Structure 1
Amino acid sequence: MLKNRIMPLVCLIILLLTMSACGGTSEKNSQQDTVQPSSEVTDAPETENLTRTITHLKGEAIVPVNIERIVVLSAAYIDHLLTIGEKPYGVNVEVRYGGDYLPYLSSQLDGVQLVGSADSPNLEAIVALEPDVILVESRTADEVYAQLEKIAPTIVLGTEWLEYEDDTTYWTKDLLKVAELYDKVDLAKEKIAELEAKTAEASETIKKLDQKKLAYVRVREKNLQIYAGKGHPTNTLLYHDLGFLPTGLTPEEQRADLSLEVVPDLDADYIVMEVDPNGRENLNSMNQSALWGKVPAVQNEKVYETDSFWLFKGWGVIGRGQIVDDVLKMIE
């Protein structure tokens, strides 16, 4: 009888021990499943929904921390993005230069969508790209900012050069603002410093020249113009940063027309010449003129025709670096 009473009790104890062991294992597994994902979140925080606020000429814009699709309506801002290692998703074209990528940046823009010109952006094309952010110049914003802002947060940059008076580093301000979008301000500053070092080295070479008066001219369809010593970052790169001397006919702040009658007074040792697409016939006439032949740079065959993009290149690190390279080749 005692045996019959003990056996059920033993079975009950065994059952309870088994259930306790299973419960412990289940609880342990449950704890492991909970802790592991928590550890992963700590190591790789979620940033998809994070934003930052950017101040610009039209106020403030809230943009994603991780920008994947940025549309750019300025050649300068394309240069800025590529300088910090970011590729735009859509870019403007320059109608007067064939309506395509600017040649000096084209090798880095393969596959980037075209969205019209800065003056007449293709709003439908921009909408189709579903951009995270749009970058525009102030002159573009005056016309279409309200429409662009409905598509995506729109950052408005750019101010007229003369408002900055003698600040020759003013062109860097927009680069630093673009870098702020990607939290790459330190990288942008490094790129600026590298360019400054390269420019300073080139200026030492130019200082050693016995004759270094330079005229930066533009041949248009029916007239010849000379650029000023200020008024544009390309001009200040030549005369301030690199150290060329302006000629007696070089205006101070605004470009001016040069008639053939005054051309013999152009005391330029070097001429940097930009020729408009419709200016070739005018250039041919100049080359046949005895008056043009009296200019020292013409006599000494020191006329350097640019690729017509120096006015764009002067706004960015990549472009300015290429101008410095061209100048060194010119004076060799």
Structure 2
Amino acid sequence: MGKTEIPAKPKRVMALDASFVDASLILDTPVVGYTDYRSINGKLPDYLGDDRTTYASEAKAVGTLAEPNLEMIAAQKPDLIISAKVRHEKLYEQLSKIAPTVMSETTGPTWKENITLTGKALGQEELAAKELAAYQTAAKTVGDAINAKAGNPTISMVRFVDGPTRLYQNKSFSGIVFKDAGLARPKSQDVDDFAAEISAERIKDADADAIFVSVFADEKGLSAKTADQFKANPLWKPLAPKVHEVPDLTWMTAVGLQGAWVILTDLAKTFDVPDPVHS
């Protein structure tokens, strides 16, 4: 957004997008606020582990991702506010009056670049580089082990949501993790895009040697209903033995390093290869 001056190493971060909560915590910096969004509702999710008590004991929800509450943000006395233009560009001036504010261009596919940006804002560039390098090494190790054991299997990612069913491609969060691991994708998903939407007639497009499936937990249960309809379809029958159900929270909404480590761990368990160790 231009130039932001951060006078001292931040100790009270307001992370207005879930990926920046992940990034701040993994960079050993206290988070005092976050916004509620789908899976994050009044408390930080379990996949963030011990960091929730070590670095987020004071963290409070300050409204929703769509509508952060400026008064609540100010009450937490942050010394840095971090978000993305795609989320809160219109609030930049107001947020900047509360504390130095840094915004990435976007979220999602740029999650690794956003960790580097967060490292810069927190004065933790070295740790950010170290954390990213550790993840890249682990991804390659897990992927190499899977390819050696299972003969370079193709990996499909299907998500049932409260709308058209999606196949996740190379520029999605899970797609980036698969790519980092060097895992092959079926033709329908080996595309430099985010996702393809499919109807029940195109179930075969979801086929691969291993099919990972997540179901978004919408309030009306529409995603689960669609999943049941797909699974009852005769076209799904040959796919069913290759399906592995995975948590939507970590595989889809946890767009950050902590989530990426969980995906690697789940992949290792699925193919029975050694777990990656995140120290």
- TM-score, with structure 1 as normaliser: 0.72
User: Are 2:134 and 1:197 equivalent residues in the alignment?
Assistant: no
In structure 2, the residue corresponding to 1:61 is in which secondary structure? coil
Q: How much identity, in percent, do the aligned residues show?
A: 23
User: Are 2:161 and 1:220 equivalent residues in the alignment?
Assistant: yes
Cross-structure match for 1:112? 59
2:251 to 297, 301, 310: 310
Report which of the two structures shows the higher radius of gyration computed on alpha carbons. 1
Cross-structure match for 1:188? 128
Structure 1: runs of 5+ lacking an equivalent: 1-57, 163-169
CA distance in structure 2 between the partners assigned to 1:98 and 1:182 by the alignment = 26
Matches within 5 A, 1:129-278: 129-159=76-106, 171-208=111-148, 209-210=150-151, 212-228=153-169, 230-238=170-178, 240-250=179-189, 252=191, 253-277=193-217, 278=221
1:127 to 74, 77, 81: 74
CA distance in structure 2 between the partners assigned to 1:180 and 1:221 by the alignment = 37
Any conservation in 2 of the 1:70–1:134 contact (CA below 8 Å)? yes
Any conservation in 2 of the 1:217–1:226 contact (CA below 8 Å)? yes
Structure 2: runs of 5+ lacking an equivalent: 273-279
In structure 1, the residue corresponding to 2:253 is in which secondary structure? helix
Letter in 1 for 2:243: K
Any conservation in 2 of the 1:217–1:272 contact (CA below 8 Å)? yes
User: Are 2:230 and 1:286 equivalent residues in the alignment?
Assistant: yes
Any conservation in 2 of the 1:272–1:306 contact (CA below 8 Å)? no
Any conservation in 2 of the 1:133–1:152 contact (CA below 8 Å)? yes
Cross-structure match for 1:101? 44
Matches within 5 A, 1:31-42: none
Count of aligned pairs between the two proteins: 262
Q: 1:67 to 1:281 in 2, by over 3 A?
A: same
Cross-structure match for 1:17? none
CA distance in structure 1 between the partners assigned to 2:173 and 2:206 by the alignment = 23
CA distance in structure 2 between the partners assigned to 1:222 and 1:192 by the alignment = 34
CA distance in structure 2 between the partners assigned to 1:265 and 1:307 by the alignment = 20
CA distance in structure 1 between the partners assigned to 2:2 and 2:252 by the alignment = 28
In structure 2, the residue corresponding to 1:328 is in which secondary structure? helix
Q: 1:276 to 1:171 in 2, by over 3 A?
A: closer
Any conservation in 2 of the 1:260–1:292 contact (CA below 8 Å)? no
CA distance in structure 2 between the partners assigned to 1:185 and 1:265 by the alignment = 41
Cross-structure match for 2:13? 70
CA distance in structure 1 between the partners assigned to 2:45 and 2:167 by the alignment = 24
Any conservation in 2 of the 1:206–1:242 contact (CA below 8 Å)? no
Any conservation in 1 of the 2:39–2:249 contact (CA below 8 Å)? no
CA distance in structure 2 between the partners assigned to 1:71 and 1:265 by the alignment = 41
Q: 1:97 to 1:291 in 2, by over 3 A?
A: farther
Q: 1:184 to 1:218 in 2, by over 3 A?
A: same
Deviation at 1:327?
A: 0.8
Cα RMSD for the two superposed structures: 2.2
Q: 1:59 to 1:292 in 2, by over 3 A?
A: same
CA distance in structure 2 between the partners assigned to 1:266 and 1:85 by the alignment = 39
CA distance in structure 2 between the partners assigned to 1:140 and 1:161 by the alignment = 11
- TM-score, with structure 2 as normaliser: 0.85
Deviations 1:56-92 (A, max 9, x none): xx11112231423221101111111111211211112
